[in-house]
Structures are given as C-alpha cells and as structure tokens.
Amino acid sequence: MHRRSTMEKPRVRFAPSPTGYLHIGGARTALFNWLWARKTGGTFVLRIEDTDQARSTDASTQVIIDSLRWLGLDWDEGPGVGGPHGPYFQMQRLDLYRAHADRLVAEGKAYRCYTTREELEAMKAKLPEGKKRDGFVYPRIWRDRPQSDWLEGQPYVVRFKSPSDGATEFDDKVFGTIRSPNASLDDFVLLRSDGVPLYNFGAVVDDVTMGITLVGRGSDHIINTPKQILLYRALGAPVPEFAHLPMMLTPDGKKMSKRLADQQGIDVPVEVYRDKGWLPDALLNYIARFGWSSGDQEIFTRDELVAHFDWDHCGKDDGRYDKKKSLWVSFEHLRKLDDDAYAAAVIPFLAASGINVAPSDPRLIPAVRTIRPRAQRLCDAAEMLAFYFVDAPVMDAAVVAKFLTADAKAQLAEVAAVLDALPAFDEASVGAAFEGWLAARSLEIKTVAQPARVALTGKGASPGLFEVMAVLGREVTVRRLRAAADVAA
RNA sequence: GGCCCCAUCGUCUAACGGUUAGGACAUCGGCCUCUCACGUCGGUAAUACGGGUUCAAAUCCCGUUGGGGUCACCA
C-alpha cells in the first residue's frame, strides 16, 4: 500500500459537525492541526461535517466559525474563503460520496443491503439481554447476494465488505503502533438509504479528495482508524498519517459533557471563554499545554506555540481540566497587556454589566491599574472596577453591619473633613493626611481602614485605600465617607 | 462483555537505561501589608502493584489492578 510522502507540504483539517457550540476539546484539536500547518507552511482546511441532518444547524455552523475566528485559528480553505477542493460542507458533496460508493459496489468491495431498520431492530431484540446493547453485529445477509437479487425500487444502504481475518495496523504520530484484528469489524454502513454518507465514509472520501496528508483528532477516533484505513485502500488512495490526541476530561475524570462540566464549574463552549474575558491567546496557551509540553515552559505566545509545537512531545494519557491553573494562565496573559490595551479590553465587559465608561474617561487607566494584580479574567476585572464608575457603590450588607459601627461612622465623618480640606488629592497626599489624622487621634489604621473601604467600595476587599481614594477624587471620596457616616445604625 | 488505548506529586507535565525524580498550578508556612490580591522566600507531595531483562529500570518485557475510548442508517 502506498503512503503519503512526508516530503510534501502537510495538508491538515479540522472537521467539526455543527451540532452545537465549539467544544473546548474540539478547539484543541483545531489548534494542534493549525499549529502544525503554520509551523510547516502547510495548509489548514476547515470542513463542516453536517451529515447528521437531525442535529446539524446553520446557527451552530456560525457559532463554530465565530469561535474559531475569535481564537484566531484561520483556515486556508473552507467556508468563507473557498478553495480548490470545495464545497466544504458535506451536504453539498453528496454526488461525490454516491459516486465513490457505487464504484466500491461495482468493484465488489461494498454491497447494497436491503435489510431495513425495522428488521435490524427485530434481530437486536432477539439477542440475549446482556448483548442487546453491546454485541450486535449485522449478520452480513446481503454481503454475497448477486446483483440479480437487488430489490429494485426498494431503499437500501451501502455496506463495506470488511475483511474477517488478518489485522489492520497503523503508526500513530503520538501513540505509536496500533494494531487491531479485522475480525472485530462490522460490515459498517457507508451510505444511508437516503444517500447521505455516514461519518467514516464521508470523512475518508473528503480526506482523499481534499488531499489531506495528516489527520489530527481526538483519541476517541482511534477505534475508527482501522475502518478508515481499509476504506483508503479500497479506494486505491494513499493513507494519510494519523495523530491522535488524548482526551480532556472533567476534574473527576469523566468525559466533558456540558452538563457534567457545568456541575464542576468548568466551561466547555469556547464562546463562554470569550464572554468571560479570556484573551484568545491565553485559552490557546492553556489547551496547548494540555497534552503537550516544551520543557519547563508554561506561558507561550501564539508565535512560540507555532515555533515549538510538534507531535513528538504530545502525551498519550488523558488529562483532567484544572480550573485554577487555567485561570492562572489567563492572568499571566492579561498581565502582558499594557494599561491602554487592558483598559480598552475591559470596557465592553463593564458595558455588559450596564456601566458605560468612555475610553477617554480620566479615571479609567488609574482605576484599571489598581485592579490588574487582582483580576484573572476581564469579567472579574469589570466586577472589581464597577464601584469606581457608579453613583453609589452597591453595599454588601454583611460587611456594612460588621464594620460601620457607631464609632466607625464618627471616625469616617472626621476623616471626610480632613480630606475635604486637603490642597492636593493624589495618593501620596491622601495617605499622608490620613496617617497624620490617625496619629493625632492615636488610632491604628487597622481600625479605620475597613470601615473606610466599605464606605468607598461597598465591599470588604478592594485595592489599597489610598489608591482608591486618589482614583475616586476628592468629591466622590468625601461624599461616600459622609454617606456612610450618615447611614442609619 | 468484545476490541483498542493509557498509567510520574492533588492537577498539567519533564526524564527518551545511570538525575538527591525537575518545573508549573494548587496547597502549607515566612516576608510584605489597611482588606483582598500581586510579589518574594521556603516546605509538604509522585514513578499504581507484582514479576522478569540488565552491572544499572520511572524508562525495556510479561502479568495484575485501575482508568479512558468504542461497539448506530451519530460524529
């Protein structure tokens, strides 16, 4: 059997089915393929596998495309950009699958099967209890029937004539040699009775006709690979290389379904990361380091990922999503932004919570500087910034009750008076005045800081008191201190 | 259950026969300190188990156990 030459420029693809959002595991598959294409000067193809008509939707296609664009995983051929091997939607390639299926039938490598779905169900029902779900294989009723037996006019599926002896073997780029006995293969269906191909057939016909040289995908597809290799051979096509990636699991080691992940606070759809204020490069960094490594390096720019990526350093074992580490990666990328970029990035997140801040607002950059070491995502940043930009901060009842005591309120009134009289209101001046007043009253800062913080921010935790005051300005600072001092006990 | 795959700190991983088994996140403690963070210094923590092969095994082989994947006219 001939194989793809490793000398030619790689052609890789990402082939999602549009049945929902872009899953974070899918994003990682897309990323690894994209990295390989970009590193090698190859071609990255996007193909939409929309043959599951019951579940595929145009809206989902759009969501997936939007997510890929947000991540910056641009494709060289596919929806929106076209290319020489289109169309890139499987439902627009039906003639192609039909032609290939007919050819396999003509060559005796596949056959028409007139057994109906109902008959199959009946056979399954007769199986002993335990095997009903697990062990049913189509009994190859139509496998060797002559063409004269065909029920013309009746619906039929096209099944592959799987070999029943020998074994199929391939050399995976990350798992090494994988070998499985052909006897475990069913005469699987290539074409449904309505002419729409099933996954294994559609993918192979497309990978052949699109000239794909390396198939990178999740390890849940290892089981499909022998079937597909048999199909490549039956079609007389070169077999591409395969690279399977271990799975991303939930923190307790389960398959990352949205429902299960939600329970554990893990976000599965890529769009949620965008909406919570991750930088695309940060998400790429986290999922790249998941199952792949480059020495001790943890934080990578996009270019570094492209430069360092290779299949040899991909691990084989499934991993579990680590939320804390993912947030740390997000934080590390956020900190690389300069203040202007950070401020511009956070404005939409402020707006999303109803707080409109103009890019030119003089409080914006100083305010942003105070929360930068504290926010791991932009949604957190917006939440921390809110008190600066509202008329009156939202007061946390628990901390109000704890810190705004009668004594504290009297002290805040005094502090307000002191600050109101200050000639300058920068952080240093405010700090000096505040500490001067503390000294005069023989008070420790600890006793007044929390009440003041609650008065100014409504919360028990915030950036430093004096930096907050400086950003707020004299008028607002004094007003909030007095408002807290006046609040009913 | 059949078939396939996997196995180093809690988690992500380094090691490609010879290391005091390294790093990062998390965690614990010190420093910093007006809170929360950030920063900084330090600590705890792993080769699943049992047999081989070898002068030498986390690394190679076999078995056990555990985990995952998959068994559709889904992808």
d(CA A156, CA A186) in angstroms, rounded, equals: 17
User: Which residue has the closest alpha carbon to B11 C1'?
Assistant: A322
The three-point CA angle A173-A176-A182 to 5° equals: 110
Inform me whether the pLDDT recorded for A2 exceeds 70. no
- Among the listed residues A39, A258, A276, A459, the single catalytic one is A258
How long is the CA A272 to C1' B38 vector, in angstroms? 26
Nucleotide nearest to A193 (CA to C1'): B73
* pLDDT for residue A222 is more than 80: yes
Mean per-residue pLDDT, A21-46: 98
Q: Which residue is nearest to nucleotide B25 (CA to C1')?
A: A325
pLDDT surpassing 60 at residue A489? no
Please check the confidence at residue A264 and state whether its pLDDT lies above 90.
no
Secondary structure string (H, E, C) spanning A419-473 = HHCCCCCCHHHHHHHHHHHHHHCCCCHHHHHHHHHHHHHCCCCCCCHHHHHHHHC
DSSP state for residue A42 in the 8-state scheme: -
| Tokens 């390396």 -> residue | A214
Whose CA is nearest the C1' atom of nucleotide B69? A220
Mean pLDDT of chain A: 95
How many Å does it take to go from CA A39 to C1' B12? 24
Q: Say whether A304 sits in a helix, a strand or coil.
A: helix
Closest nucleotide (C1' vs CA) to A329 is B25
Closest-lying nucleotide for A201 based on CA to C1': B75
DSSP A127: S
Q: For residue A379, what pLDDT is reported?
A: 98
Residue A402 annotated in active site: no
SS3 A326: helix
Nucleotide B26 C1' to residue A341 CA (A): 30
CB atoms within 10 A of CB A194: 9
| pLDDT above 90: residue A4 | no
CA A212 vs CA A70, A133, A224, A402, A423: distances in Å: 25, 35, 17, 66, 72
Peptide bond into A16 cis (omega under 30): no
Q: Note the CA–C1' distance, A342 to B44, in angstroms.
A: 37
The region, left, alpha or beta by phi > 0 then psi within -120 to 50, assigned to residue A80 is left
Residue range A381-400: average pLDDT? 96
Among A200, A144, A192, A188, which residue's Cα sits nearest to residue A162?
A: A188
- pLDDT band at A339, cuts 50/70/90? very high
Query: Which nucleotide's C1' atom has the smallest distance to the CA of A181?
Result: B3
Nucleotide nearest to A203 (CA to C1'): B75
Token look-up 């029943």 returns A164
| pLDDT value, residue A3 | 58
Q: Please report the beta strands in A222-327, taking only residues with DSSP state E, as ranges in sequence order.
A: 241-245, 248-249, 319-320
Determine the distance between A359 (CA) and B11 (C1') in angstroms.
Answer: 40
- A132 pLDDT band, cuts 50/70/90, is low
The separation, in Å, between residue A389 CA and nucleotide B74 C1' comes to 50
List pLDDT tens digits, range A298-315: 999 999 999 999 999 999
The nucleotides of chain B lying under 7 Å from a protein CB are: 1-8, 10-15, 22-27, 34-38, 67-75
Q: Rounded mean pLDDT of A272-285?
A: 98
- A375: pLDDT strictly greater than 70: yes
Question: What's the pLDDT band for A133 if we cut at 50, 70, 90?
Answer: low
Average pLDDT over residues A430-448: 95
Residue at minimum CA to C1' distance from nucleotide B12? A290
Q: What pLDDT score does A66 carry?
A: 98
pLDDT tens by residue, A340-368: 999 999 999 999 999 999 999 999 999 99
pLDDT in tens, A171-198: 999 999 999 999 999 999 999 999 999 9
**CA/C1' separation A373–B39 (Å):** 10
* pLDDT above 90: residue A271: yes
CA dihedral sign of residues A220, A226, A228, A232: positive
Q: If pLDDT is split at 50, 70 and 90, which confidence band does A417 have?
A: very high
Instruction: Specify the nucleotide whose C1' lies closest to residue A465 (CA).
Output: B34
Is the CB of residue A17 less than 8 Å from the CB of residue A49?
Answer: yes
User: For chain A, how big is the Rg over CA atoms in Å?
Assistant: 31
